[in-house]
Structures are given as structure tokens and as C-alpha cells.
Amino acid sequence: MTALIDYQTMDDHIAILTLNRPEAMNALSKGLLDELNEYIRKINADSNIRCTIITGSSKKAFCAGADLKERKGMTEEQVIEAVSYIGNTVTNIENMKMPVIAAVNGAAFGGGLELSLACDIRIAAESAKLGLTETSLAIIPGAGGTQRLTRLIGSGQAKRLIFTAKPVTSDEALTLGMIEHMTSSENLLQEAIETAQAIVRNGPVALRQAKAAINQGSQTDMTTGLSIEYLRYKETVSTEDRLEGLQAFTEKRKPVYQGK
């Protein structure tokens, strides 16, 4: 049986997860979600992994969202359960300890876009299209799309995209702030890898604490956010890596961080 998720590592510290259902535009079947969650657990438990990249297996699609063929035979209760499973999986991605990069290689619709919104950084191919298209099926985004997209690009633009169900090009997505970078299809994975390599050169504890400070602080008022930042900063002070960073700076060499 063909694996629905392809997993590989690079440079000891980078994990690459590739959604591998090209015949179904990498739609989120239960089997794919099961494998994805297993790899999320595996990566989170591996202290060597400091950055994760998620991409799709073909130029045509990053992820087309829920598997509508699978859903067709479901009861209403089963549909609700399936949507909840996608939402929980997306949240599991958001809560990964290390930075996560979405390399959006093709269409990212519905749950596929919601998956990318849970990542920390989104890099898209010029040919990619992105959209929350659920209202065209008489439903709404149910895996965090109404919340994460609104926080990313503002309520007015989020409403426009969700109400019209119209996908946007990568160029417009970049202008809106839905993605952080756009590149050619040929260069996409390499750009994501180079971004990951720049990330993993930095202190692993600092990366985890910075991600937590941003994610937690962005949900609160400024005063609370600053308190969260302060507490997260304190977590880095007693680390061996902080001392290594200072020593490397003094010796004019690249630091060698151990995540301790």
C-alpha cells in the first residue's frame, strides 16, 4: 500500500512531510489524516528536528481540502466528526513545537488552505491558487479558516474571500498577506528548504519560545502579550545555548547550538 504521507529529513534538523494522494489532489482522507498525525507526534518527539516543511506531491495541488468522495456516503453525525478530525489535525500542526513552513505547490482549497494557515510561514508557487471555497458547497470553513484567515488578513478581506468562495492567485495572496513569499514552481521546495536552513541555524529553545510568545501573545491584549513575552524570554536565559551564542560572538565563529 502506498504511503499517503512521504517523510524525509535533511541536514539532521529539517523534516519534510509531503501529502501523497496526487490522484485525489492530496485531499484529506481519514487515512491521510491518520498518517499525518502520526508524523506530527513523531516529529514533536524528536529533539533533533528544529523545522518542518509541509508540501504536496504534485504541481497541480497542495491540498484540495476534505475528501468529498469519502464524505458522500457519511451521515450528518459522521460529517461533523470528520470535520472535527480535520480541525484537530490542523490545530496539531499549529501547536508543533518548532517553526513549520507550508510550501504551497498548487491548489490550496478549503481544508487545504486551512492546513497552510496553521503553519508559521507560507511560501507559494506562482501557479498556486488559494481559497476557502466552502460556501459554494453550502457550508462554511470548519477547520479554523474563519478564525485564522481573519487574524491574518483582517475581517473585511476574509469575509470577501469566504462569502464569494473565489480562490485568489498567489500574487493576490501575497498582496493580501495570506502568504509570506512567492516563487516559481521549480524553485519552491528549494526556497522552503533554504528558509528552513536559515531557521535551524538559530537556537532551538529560542525558536520554540519565540513561536509560543507570538502565537499566545497575538490572542491577547498588549499588556498580557508583553507578560507572555517576558516569561518566554526567561526560559532562554538559563540555557547552554545562550552562553554558546555569546561565546561564538566573542570568538567570531558560528555558534553550535544543542537545544539545551
Domain ranges of the chain: 5-200, 203-251
Give mean pLDDT, residues 149-159: 96
Give me the numbers of helices (H) and strands (E) for the chain, helices first please: 11, 10
* Beta pairing class for 5-10 and 14-19: antiparallel
Quick one: pLDDT band at residue 197, thresholds 50, 70, 90? Answer: very high
Is 65 one of the catalytic residues? no
Quick one: pLDDT band at residue 71, thresholds 50, 70, 90? Answer: confident
Looking at residue 22, its pLDDT comes to 93
List the one residue out of 214, 190, 36 whose CA is nearest residue 123: 190
Looking at residue 171, its pLDDT comes to 96
Residue 124: pLDDT over 80:
yes
Looking at residue 109, its pLDDT comes to 97
Looking at residue 246, its pLDDT comes to 82
Residue 1: pLDDT over 70:
no
Is 111 one of the catalytic residues? yes
Looking at residue 252, its pLDDT comes to 87
Q: How far apart are CA 105 and CA 101, in angstroms?
A: 12
CATH code for the structural domain at 203-251: 1.10.12.10
Quick one: pLDDT band at residue 121, thresholds 50, 70, 90? Answer: very high
Q: Which of 106, 110, 111, 203 is catalytic?
A: 111
Is 114 one of the catalytic residues? yes
Q: Which of 108, 110, 114, 143 is catalytic?
A: 114
CB 79 within 8 A of CB 71: yes
* CATH class label, 5-200: alpha beta
List the one residue out of 95, 94, 112, 111 whose CA is nearest residue 103: 112
Q: Which of 15, 61, 82, 134 is catalytic?
A: 134
CB 92 within 8 A of CB 55: no
Distances (CA, A) of 161 to 124, 173, 254: 18, 11, 45
List the one residue out of 154, 203, 196 whose CA is nearest residue 176: 154
pTM score above 0.85: yes
Q: Which of 27, 66, 103, 213 is catalytic?
A: 66
Computed on alpha carbons and rounded to an integer, the radius of gyration of the chain in Å comes to: 19
